[in-house]
Amino acid sequence: MIIGVGIDVAEVDRFAASLERTPGLVQRLFVESELLLPSGERRGPASLAVRFAAKEALAKALGAPPGLHWTDAEVYVEESGQPRLRVRGSVAARAEELGVRNWHVSLSHDAGVASAVVIAEA
**C-alpha to C-alpha distance for 108 and 21, rounded to whole angstroms:** 25
CB 91 within 8 A of CB 62: yes
Q: Which residues line the annotated binding site?
A: 8, 56
Computed over every residue of the chain, the mean pLDDT equals 96
| Residue 59 CB burial class (10 angstroms; 0-12, 13-18, ≥19) | buried
SS3 content of the chain, % helix, strand, coil (to 5): 40, 35, 25
What backbone torsions phi and psi does residue 24 show, to the nearest 5 degrees? 90, -10
pLDDT digits (tens, 9 = 90+) for 38-59: 889 999 999 999 999 999 999 9
Check pLDDT > 90 for residue 23: no
At residue 97, the pLDDT reads 97
Q: Which residues line the annotated binding site for Mg(2+)?
A: 8, 56
Domains and CATH numbers, the chain: 2-121 (3.90.470.20)
DSSP-assigned beta bridge partners for residue 68: none
